[in-house]
A and B are shown apart, each in its own frame.
Chain A
Amino acid sequence: MSPDQEKNTGSDRILVAMSGGVDSSVAAALLVEQGREVVGVTLNLAGDTSRCCSLEDADDARKVAETLGIRFFVANYADRFREEVIEEFADSYLRGETPIPCVACNKRFKFDYLMDRASVFGAETVATGHYARVSKSSETGLFELRRPRDTNKDQTYFLFQLDQAQLAGTSFPLGDMSKEEVRLRAADLGLATAHKPESQEICFVPDGDYARVVEKIRPEATRLTGDLVDSSGQTLGQHKGVHRFTIGQRHGLGISSNRRLYVKEIRAKTQEVIVGDAKDLDETLAHVNQVNWISGSLPSAPVRARVQVRYRHAGVPATITPLPDQRAQLVFDEPVRAIAPGQAAVFYGLDDDMEQGERVLGGGWLSSQASS
């Protein structure tokens, strides 16, 4: 094969991460329509046993690939997924945090690992079915990550860890489409996944029973006990481990009181769960660590941004002051309720054009009050 031929086969090829859901199916279909040589890849993260990212989903993706007439492969990462995502999820709960495993999963599996795979395939780009937009600024030459047109489906919160190199090799074909359009398109194309229900928020906790997952991964968690304490230090009851709680939780505390009590703070070291009234949950100050700035450069002065502290959060204007060691301080313009360590705080450009989608400036992991 001559060098020219090799270039031709490589340049047009694009890898599409196909989950077996409707979004990535349509993303692949759109790229086929554009004439790209699409290679579908499904992540098998669960091994042969669990339901999520399972071989069943792989079968759905395979059917779609057959309909579209594209090549299709399964990428087996079950061992790494268990180590890097599920075990980290359990340990985070045991540290008294409320983890959000989808961020690390997205970054490592859909971007790092699939980009490596794409490079071996001779493809330069990985496309996914995320609702997000990526573009190159003509002014700065930098890649920008922006909210999608369908703000209800916005998934940029999960993508704040991407860097310039990753954005350069990423394509989000659904960024300018609504979910409704995506479903219609899937039905038009006769894709097997057109009417498939939305996937769970955390794929390996399909029934929402986090505590059971934590205890399965770290069986020692079943022996944990501790006290529920109010802000005055009075013990109100006992509990079976801090991994059963999250900041702002009201139900399932197992104590009777004439007040409405919420989890305000979780102290993993002493296994104390501090409860208080709704107003005790309000915070105007928070700290984040492992901060990623999408531009790749650390701002030299405090930054004004809209900060979103959980996935479904409207965001609050705040001033972000970068600190050493990839940390930052967040001061919110108005109180924010139930800031949970382990969740991400994602920064969006305050004065951005909503039509083009607010830019993701960066983000970091909310740290516990004790360490902040």
Chain B
Amino acid sequence: MKRIYLDHNATTPLREEVAEAMSKILFSEFGNPTSTHEEGARARTHVETSRERVAQCLGAKSAEIIFTAGASESNNTVLATLLDPELPRRGLITSTVEHPSILEPARQLEKAGVPVTWIPVDRDGRVSPERVFEAADRGPALVSLIWANNETGVLQPIQEIAAGLEHRGIPLHVDATQTVGKCPVDLQSTPIAYLSCSAHKLNGPKGTGCLVARGHSPVHPLLLGGPQERRRRGGTENVAGIVGFGLACQLAHVELSERIKAYSELRDHLWQSLSERIGGLRRNGTSEHVLPNTLNLQFAGAAGEVMVQALDLEGIAVSMGAACHSGSVSPSHVLTEMGLSSEEARSSLRLSVGQGLTLDDISRAAESIARVARRAQEASAA
């Protein structure tokens, strides 16, 4: 039976056009973009064309795009700039519901003596712009926020925060890994200093992504050892990956409005089918400011871990939250920070739709999820 993949926030299937473009590069364009001979020049052209595509998708300038191995590297790179002793201001403001690739470096910064202000979220999963501004008035070096949460899909009020911080002259870094390809992102109209994203979340390849550093925002390379990316990221470019990323961005840019429509339709159908079948089903986080493709649901009394495994056996891929958390024993920090109990967090699942799914798939998945939820609720009640 055809498997139904409802975990598009973990990663997405590669688009066929993207795979084709990448395999052409892998088979015929082996040059090193830094080399001056023809092989190198051709590879360089591919990298630069892709850079333009990514820039266009994000509303940035080509020179502002730094290719990395993905958003985790981009996030780490941005936070590492705060260790510079010559920075005019000190300190980081971030939220308690960030991805681990912000949380962990932020804790490292704290250990290194950089003050970090942690902004909490409300029951809806959102930070209050006022609290951010209050902290920003103490003059930190950077504010870093996740735009769309990977577990709940909740969108932070980035437009409002970006405007308020611009007014205060405090740079903002946005982790837009889940946002690009699912929501409009336009750096021309949003004053953001740094933005991170990953190709594999928008039907591109794994192992590539970018950091956008706007204007004269400083970047201290994490990887030293070469002139690549204007000395902001050493190491020979992942040419095929970059080409795949560029094309995935271009497709996402062109198809954005139809994707948003399609994802919303799939998600709404899923929510409706499930809430009809399962009593007391609750949605975690706001349903107003949220990605069009994500549902984070609480199945009261059921063990989420067991449901994920049982659904897998039924041919349906879902997760408890971040893929990195599967196999770990602690409940999702994103959900507990929103005020859920450990028990509630452990009974929650993340369902995220994406390309390649039909409404029929969703109907079939909803039946299986309802059946497994009932069995899981009975098992824990026994």
List residues of chain A with CB under 8 Å of any chain B CB. 1, 6, 9, 13, 39, 44, 47-48, 55, 71, 73-76, 78-79, 116-117, 119-122
List chain A residues, Cβ under 8 A from B382: 116
Most buried by A among B313, B376, B380: B313
- Complex CA distance for A201 and B327, rounded to whole angstroms: 26
In this assembly, does B112 line the interface, its C-beta being within 8 Å of a C-beta of chain A? no
**Given A116-B379, A116-B380, A119-B375, A76 contacting B306 (CB threshold 8 A):** no
In this assembly, does B305 line the interface, its C-beta being within 8 Å of a C-beta of chain A? yes
In this assembly, does B189 line the interface, its C-beta being within 8 Å of a C-beta of chain A? no
| Closest chain B residue, CB of each to CB of A79 | B329
**Which of B306, B309, B329, B380 sits near A44, CB closer than 8 Å?**
B329
- Complex CA distance for A13 and B379, rounded to whole angstroms: 17
In this assembly, does B323 line the interface, its C-beta being within 8 Å of a C-beta of chain A? no
- Complex CA distance for A121 and B368, rounded to whole angstroms: 11
Interface size class of B (residues with CB under 8 A): 20 to 34
| Closest chain B residue, CB of each to CB of A55 | B327
CB pair B328 A76 closer than 8 Å: yes
List chain A residues, Cβ under 8 A from B154: none
**Which of B305, B328, B376, B380 sits near A75, CB closer than 8 Å?**
B305
Map CB proximity to A onto B348-382 as digits: 1 under 8 Å, 0 otherwise: 00000000000000001001100110011011101
**Given A116-B379, A120-B372, A73 contacting B329 (CB threshold 8 A):** no
| Closest chain A residue, CB of each to CB of B342 | A79
List chain A residues, Cβ under 8 A from B303: 120
Map CB proximity to A onto B295-311 as digits: 1 under 8 Å, 0 otherwise: 00000000101110110
**Which of A55, A75, A79, A117 sits near B379, CB closer than 8 Å?**
A117
- With A119-B375, A121-B309, A122-B310 known, 19 other A-B pairs at CB within 8 A are A6-B371, A44-B327, A47-B329, A48-B328, A73-B312, A74-B327, A75-B305, A75-B306, A76-B305, A79-B329, A116-B306, A116-B382, A117-B306, A119-B379, A120-B375, A120-B376, A120-B379, A121-B313, A122-B375
**Minimum Cβ distance to chain A for residue B300 (Å):** 15
| Closest chain B residue, CB of each to CB of A77 | B329
- Complex CA distance for A116 and B303, rounded to whole angstroms: 10
List chain B residues, Cβ under 8 A from A39: 313
List chain A residues, Cβ under 8 A from B307: 120
| Interface SS of B by simple majority | helix
List chain A residues, Cβ under 8 A from B314: 9
- Complex CA distance for A63 and B53, rounded to whole angstroms: 43
List chain B residues, Cβ under 8 A from A122: 310, 313, 375
**Which of B310, B328, B364 sits near A120, CB closer than 8 Å?**
B310
**Minimum Cβ distance to chain B for residue A71 (Å):** 6
- Complex CA distance for A39 and B311, rounded to whole angstroms: 13
- Complex CA distance for A342 and B117, rounded to whole angstroms: 51
**Given A47-B329, A116-B380, A121 contacting B310 (CB threshold 8 A):** yes
CB pair A71 B329 closer than 8 Å: no
List chain B residues, Cβ under 8 A from A79: 329
CB pair A78 B329 closer than 8 Å: yes
- Complex CA distance for A149 and B328, rounded to whole angstroms: 39
List chain B residues, Cβ under 8 A from A71: 312-313
List chain B residues, Cβ under 8 A from A74: 327
List chain A residues, Cβ under 8 A from B376: 120
List chain B residues, Cβ under 8 A from A76: 305, 327-329
**Minimum Cβ distance to chain B for residue A118 (Å):** 9
- Complex CA distance for A74 and B305, rounded to whole angstroms: 9
| Closest chain A residue, CB of each to CB of B327 | A74
**Minimum Cβ distance to chain B for residue A1 (Å):** 7
List chain A residues, Cβ under 8 A from B327: 44, 55, 74, 76
**Minimum Cβ distance to chain A for residue B362 (Å):** 15
List chain A residues, Cβ under 8 A from B328: 48, 76
6 CB-based A-B contacts, threshold 8 Å: A1-B364, A9-B314, A73-B312, A116-B306, A121-B306, A121-B309
List chain B residues, Cβ under 8 A from A73: 309, 312
List chain A residues, Cβ under 8 A from B379: 116-117, 119-120
